[in-house]
Structure 1
Amino acid sequence: MTTVDSTKSSSVLATLNSSSRSTSSTTTSEDIQNRFLTLLVAQLENQDPLNPLDNTEVTNQLAQMSTVQGIEQLNTTLNSLVSSLADTQAVQASALISKTVLVPGSHLTLSDGDAYGGVNLASAADTVTVKIYDSSGNLVQTQSLGKADAGNLLFSWDGSTSSGTTAADGSYTFKVTATKGSSSVTAEALQLGTVSALTRTTNGNFVLDLGSLGQYDFDDVQQVF
């Protein structure tokens, strides 16, 4: 029958209690490591000579402690990088105030005989067509932009209509279609707007205020002019 040395057990418990009292309410990996090493030393000092601690087990425990410390250091580094990225994004976002940006949307503003819009093509197209509508939904002009590569494509409209008249300044909308051979190509309408203000959301992202066009995420911006 195996007997337990009460003196040695009391010594280990005393060491644990002392270590526990010295640990702050917020436990870090360093605190855990210190407590572990304290316990390990106490175990080594009070081990049964006839049944010593297994070297492999001790080595595995030390390796686990090293892993815990490494993970905490990695988390600290990642948090620092995230904070740095947020600060960089804040500087970039603030620089957009009063700038003209290209964002998803089909709004077209005709002013002094000029209007500008954009198209994002998922792949190259043989033919890109823009149809412009007035506020009542009536088709006023159809423009062929010809062949284009994948990516963003800008276009302008001088206000001329299909009937040969000149459209009044104001708000219009447009639709885009694109084809390559007999197949359609995914085409997204892009609109131009001026950034009047920006706000930071609770999750750390930035929202750009484009006035009458509404609000857009910082990541929605395709180009800046």
Structure 2
Amino acid sequence: MSSPVIGNSTLANINGAAAQSSTTGVDSGSELNDRFMTLLVTQLKNQDPTSPMENSDMTAQLAQINTVSGIEKLNDSLSAITDQIDAGQALQATALIGQGVMVPGNRILVGSSDGTDGVVTTPIGVELDGAVEDLQIDIRGASGEIIDSFSTGPLSAGVHSFTWDGKLADGSSAAIDGTYTASLTGTVGDDTYAPTALNYALVNGVIQGANGAQLDLGYAQDPVALSEVRQIL
């Protein structure tokens, strides 16, 4: 059976209402339901009396109305859950203010030790997907040259952190307030690879943006998401 024909004037009225609604924003579920019901009633009024709409056709259109309403309710529920997750992450992030964390990066900062002529350095870390027989750590200067190296020996999978003593290969101390980088090389059998390097950062605050809560790590490093924290020191 062919579908009932809706007159041009009726279609114009419905489309006109839709166009007017689109200028004010996205239709709500109740507005969409009203438009569906208007269309259904219009079809019933304009159907051929000798060939009325079958029950299956009406059931299908009513099912469409319920589907639209259900999708809107689902979207509202997901939006509420997302808001709760964002709020929970922001609360967790604020607990890290003032604490040191290990996040992806390879930077090492050097400072002076209070009351001594020695130096202190920020930790360097690694995130291993699997165990390694050895991990080689090369400390590099501003020009990329290797100024010191050391090995850790065997390490299991997971996150590990280390501290460079701030000594150069010739025994002298690294420059105060200098910035260095670390290159990591893991060894497994005859194979070598570059695992994920981690560096230390101090959490100064929390930034709430479109992508959720992010940790403010100061001028030396871009903000990172809470999920980027690999270790809390």
TM-score where L is the length of structure 2:
0.73
Query: CA–CA distance in 1 between the matches of 2:158 and 2:74?
Result: 38
| 1:95 equivalent in alignment to 2:103 | no
Which residue of structure 1 aligns with residue 138 of structure 2? 131
Larger radius of gyration: 1
| 1:217 equivalent in alignment to 2:217 | no
Cα-to-partner distance string for 1:145-177 (whole Å, 9 max, x where unaligned): 011122321112233443344445443322111
| 1:81 equivalent in alignment to 2:88 | no
CA contact (8 A) 2:104 2:199 kept: yes
- Please, which of 119, 122, 127 is the counterpart of residue 120 of structure 1? 127
CA spacing shift, 1:120–1:46, aligned 2, 3 Å: closer
Comparing 160-169 with 100-109, which one deviates more in the overlay?
160-169
Matches within 5 A, 1:27-42: 27-37=27-37, 40=40
Query: CA–CA distance in 2 between the matches of 1:28 and 1:135?
Result: 58
Task: Work out the number of aligned pairs and report it.
Answer: 208
CA spacing shift, 1:37–1:212, aligned 2, 3 Å: closer
Query: CA–CA distance in 2 between the matches of 1:167 and 1:52?
Result: 90
Which residue of structure 2 aligns with residue 62 of structure 1? 62
Question: Structure 1: which amino acid aligns with 2:216?
Answer: D
What SS is found at the alignment partner of 1:147?
coil
Which residue of structure 2 aligns with residue 109 of structure 1? 109
CA spacing shift, 1:110–1:47, aligned 2, 3 Å: closer
| 1:189 equivalent in alignment to 2:209 | no
What displacement does 1:220 show? 2.9
Unaligned 5+ runs, structure 1 = 1-8
Question: Structure 2: which amino acid aligns with 1:176?
Answer: L
TM-score where L is the length of structure 1:
0.76
CA spacing shift, 1:211–1:39, aligned 2, 3 Å: closer
Which residue of structure 2 aligns with residue 153 of structure 1? 160
- Please, which of 147, 153, 160 is the counterpart of residue 140 of structure 1? 147
What displacement does 1:194 show? 0.7
CA-based RMSD of the aligned residues comes to 3.1
CA spacing shift, 1:168–1:186, aligned 2, 3 Å: closer
What SS is found at the alignment partner of 1:146?
coil
Query: CA–CA distance in 2 between the matches of 1:31 and 1:137?
Result: 64
Query: CA–CA distance in 1 between the matches of 2:53 and 2:131?
Result: 70
